Structure 1
């Protein structure tokens, strides 16, 4: 029986050279470029095709691609292997070290085959014949690389210079990085340079020895990362802190350039890394072979007098006339055009977009988009005016004072203590209804709410308490900055619709905030009037709501004092809240506004990313500060790339700063904030987000509203799409009415325009 070979498929790349098709959330290895399934599934099938026996198959992939990976390899045997999920990319040296350490720990000193997941190889039989020719050299203690005879002066591949040959195996003189075109021509003419396929065969003991000799830090930290990893039926999950400590380097630089006795076996198979649009013109297994003019045409394309071009449309009709040797790739939100020979330089386009904070490199437009802008206008208006407002203005109102905290799914009140933020948000919701033109008793409802909180919820210092009993007794007198912000927002909109009590109450509240909540060092506001947070945690979220309320008061008064207050919070956001490295916003900080220690400091909420994003765009409109637009785009991009459940399309409740889901359930309010963010960013020098807006409104109705009784919503959806809410919290009506009011305005404008 042939010796067992342990196969490791490297599937952590992004494939930027195939942008705009390949993106961070949907890289090329998960695309079907051959018509036979995704590239990663084809690679797994190839590893299973060894004539002399199957060995375990492992896949090293990004945690962010877990869902796509599982979808693509479902039903394919791994023969005792499993996925290994990286919390972040550490390049190929770490991947090879992982493969070696896992093999030694679980199988002993066996042969290891490392191969990329995204290459086209002519036949499985030719592939394994080539691998077999390298087995003897690998067993003798040599690292074997498989080389490809070049047929053109390619500048996108690394090369391997070969020396003496014996029995079809060549000595390697050196590895060289991707050359310029003149150097590539010399390599081609010399005849002793082959392309580096990135496929390696070696014994575990040989590779461990090489790491210990040349890269001991990478080896030792990889072993430590494996010790802290968690393995279950789904795979092995590497710990972020330990894995991030591994130096990031390619295996070519880290190992291959230092090892003296490396062997090369020329490939028997046809090989294409499908790493550029030019390479797809030469693809043997293309789902659509070249036409009589040498064009590869995919999708809805009309080509007239075109020759030698790659024309692909993932969206609507693409028409081209007189193109020669061109690549044109159109998706729903981006189009790439370049001469075929220049198509490698798409990497420069991606780098430019990322530097500008553009979203198109981060995420793929949703497949369930609705092309008609404003498609949900009628449904939104019906739900607001005929279902939700009539219900909450009656069943949601406590005749004894204020509003109920929640309704059950039978539309009956849930009796529990009344939070100040909920009372304020219901006042706000009815004021917004009045602004929209609702013909219900919004003025009476505002008075009803203000009377209850004004009579029962004020403190002697002019602040607002945290919580009241059902009959108005103070249960918690804490003057929390979050609640003060909610009250200020409600008062701003009550003032807008003519309530006479709102302005004096707001002035007293502003005085209280300035005297008792403001950090005298100019670093925002404390959690409450006791100064809590200075010694424990301080949070970004109350500042976001104060930011929102300050801008609301600027809107209703035109007084720049409120805008200056908002500007100070933006300064705090830029200096402390926003993490430029991860494009994330933390929830918890220490007393000096440094991200809190883990685990609290690692928590991010996609919903707050969306919420800040829309508020920053609003601030930009008021101040002409365009710098915050870039920050808003980055927040939106990171939330979309890492914060969405790929099964439902809904935003997770919480994720880590590195994009790992923490609370995988989905509340309704983050979905409303995603709508607001898309509405705000649409038309701000970025992609057309109108289809995305419709898709997000559609998901809100699909998962949260349509499944609930009339006028209510399902507040909590599980990771698998199951409704798990016990009741309907009134505090969320604020989110619903804000997002759907903004959508209504957008849709009406689009219909009229």
Structure 2
């Protein structure tokens, strides 16, 4: 009976993977290759209108540039049928030229013409620079050594200038509060990426282990098992309402990362923590009426923000798919059910008039906000589709 049910669920999951994969390679990658990169001034556009034209006047956040570099580099590594090297190489040169500060960190915002308008340090932006370097090292083999040198130099500067004595990093100098789990999540992701490709993986392994320990002892609440967003100077929850914020999408995203780390280290407590984060995300963070993951909870699991954005659907999908790989029997079947459910939720956001674009926000009343598609979402979407492709290959 279980075998028959598993076969049925796996078949439904396979259909979802096929639909997403076709959307990505037939629609999204060609569209964003054509209109998502500014071939006149350089750099990636921040948003694309739902009619398929770029929002040329938008200022450009530093975090978007390495995210888009990742998307095309990762697609190239999987033999996507576009000239991905063009946008990857030109995009990287523009990112370095425009956002690199004199102290070798990256600033935050530039004008469309490539003039930095906000030079402030943001740990989040450094994390995505490291992530882009890793993916370039994989996809463009002749620049691997250069990318590793850049990544090692940036990591050295981060440790020298911003290391927190109790683990992780400060948000700025002088000490800026609150401390945040979110940029550490992306540093964790960058470390796991570098661990696979670096000629010397030791510093990346060490930092990944440090962040995993920080997540399991400080970010995750010892009582509820939920992961918080904001912290005081000593990594205790930040005072007031801000310190009570719990995001369903980040329960899923940390579940995915801790599962990856737990698999690499044969660390069952990490995988158990990931499974609990996933359960909390589904139980408290998925609206059963709209069938989507929404944005915010408080630490008592009451709703703080009912709007559903696209990116939590992708993290729900990624976590469910990877957890299906590390489980067996009825548990695997249940995670595949969740992955199928998450894929259906994601495809709601992808159902735009022009295939290859997406809606970013679904209101509490179940209507989509009609606004330009943010480029920053592409990183989430592409990563989740490649995760489910890999899972399907593992399970077939």
The correspondence for 2:268, drawn from 626, 640, 643, is: 626
- What is the number of residues matched between the two proteins? 385
User: Per the alignment, do residues 523 and 662 of structure 1 end up closer, same or farther by CA in structure 2, a change over 3 Å counting?
Assistant: same
In the TM superposition, residue 683 of structure 1 has moved relative to its aligned partner by 4.1
**1:612 and 2:254 are equivalent in the alignment:** yes
* Stretch deviating more after TM superposition (508-517 or 732-741): 508-517
SS in 2 for 1:475: strand
SS in 1 for 2:290: coil
Aligned counterparts, 1:232-311, within 5 A: none
Q: Is the 8 A contact 2:137 2:148 kept in 1?
A: yes
Counterpart-to-counterpart distance in 2, 1:388 and 1:545: 24
In the TM superposition, residue 545 of structure 1 has moved relative to its aligned partner by 0.6
Q: Is the 8 A contact 1:404 1:730 kept in 2?
A: yes
SS in 2 for 1:576: helix
**1:455 and 2:101 are equivalent in the alignment:** no
**C-alpha distance after superposition, 1:303-348 (max 9, x if no partner):** xxxxxxxxxx9x998xxxxxxxxxxxxxx79xxxxxxxxxxxxxxx
**1:649 and 2:291 are equivalent in the alignment:** yes
Aligned to 2:342: 696
Counterpart-to-counterpart distance in 2, 1:609 and 1:725: 27
In the TM superposition, residue 708 of structure 1 has moved relative to its aligned partner by 4.5
**1:718 and 2:352 are equivalent in the alignment:** no
User: Per the alignment, do residues 708 and 625 of structure 1 end up closer, same or farther by CA in structure 2, a change over 3 Å counting?
Assistant: farther
The correspondence for 1:524, drawn from 157, 168, 188, is: 168
Larger Rg belongs to? 1
Aligned to 1:591: 233
Counterpart-to-counterpart distance in 1, 2:189 and 2:29: 23
SS in 1 for 2:205: helix
Q: Would you identify which runs of 4 or more consecutive aligned residues in structure 1 move more than 6 Å?
A: none
Counterpart-to-counterpart distance in 2, 1:605 and 1:725: 24
Q: Is the 8 A contact 2:325 2:391 kept in 1?
A: no
User: Per the alignment, do residues 553 and 370 of structure 1 end up closer, same or farther by CA in structure 2, a change over 3 Å counting?
Assistant: closer
User: Per the alignment, do residues 532 and 393 of structure 1 end up closer, same or farther by CA in structure 2, a change over 3 Å counting?
Assistant: farther
Aligned to 2:30: 390
Q: Is the 8 A contact 1:603 1:654 kept in 2?
A: yes
Q: Is the 8 A contact 2:307 2:362 kept in 1?
A: yes
The correspondence for 1:580, drawn from 222, 237, 251, is: 222
The TM-score normalised by the length of structure 1 is 0.49
The TM-score normalised by the length of structure 2 is 0.92
Query: Unaligned stretches of 5+ in structure 2?
Result: none
Q: Is the 8 A contact 2:255 2:273 kept in 1?
A: yes
SS in 2 for 1:604: coil
SS in 2 for 1:375: helix
SS in 1 for 2:117: strand
In the TM superposition, residue 370 of structure 1 has moved relative to its aligned partner by 7.8
Aligned to 2:87: 445
**1:667 and 2:312 are equivalent in the alignment:** no
Aligned to 2:196: 555
In the TM superposition, residue 396 of structure 1 has moved relative to its aligned partner by 0.4
Counterpart-to-counterpart distance in 2, 1:708 and 1:690: 29
In the TM superposition, residue 371 of structure 1 has moved relative to its aligned partner by 5.3
Aligned to 1:727: 372
Counterpart-to-counterpart distance in 2, 1:572 and 1:589: 12
Counterpart-to-counterpart distance in 2, 1:605 and 1:541: 10
User: Per the alignment, do residues 401 and 631 of structure 1 end up closer, same or farther by CA in structure 2, a change over 3 Å counting?
Assistant: same
Counterpart-to-counterpart distance in 2, 1:510 and 1:459: 15
The correspondence for 2:180, drawn from 511, 524, 539, is: 539
Aligned to 1:494: 136
Which one has more relative contact order, counting CA pairs under 8 Å at least 6 apart? 2
Q: Is the 8 A contact 1:645 1:719 kept in 2?
A: no
Query: Unaligned stretches of 5+ in structure 1?
Result: 1-312, 318-331, 334-368
Q: Is the 8 A contact 2:133 2:147 kept in 1?
A: yes
In the TM superposition, residue 440 of structure 1 has moved relative to its aligned partner by 1.1
**1:736 and 2:381 are equivalent in the alignment:** yes
Q: Is the 8 A contact 1:647 1:720 kept in 2?
A: no
Aligned to 1:244: none
Q: Is the 8 A contact 1:380 1:744 kept in 2?
A: no
Larger relative strand fraction: 1
Aligned to 1:469: 111
SS in 2 for 1:378: helix
Larger relative helix fraction: 2
In the TM superposition, residue 720 of structure 1 has moved relative to its aligned partner by 2.7
SS in 2 for 1:385: helix
Q: Is the 8 A contact 1:517 1:531 kept in 2?
A: no
**1:378 and 2:56 are equivalent in the alignment:** no
Aligned to 2:150: 505
Aligned counterparts, 1:45-60, within 5 A: none
Aligned to 1:426: 68
Q: Is the 8 A contact 2:14 2:392 kept in 1?
A: yes
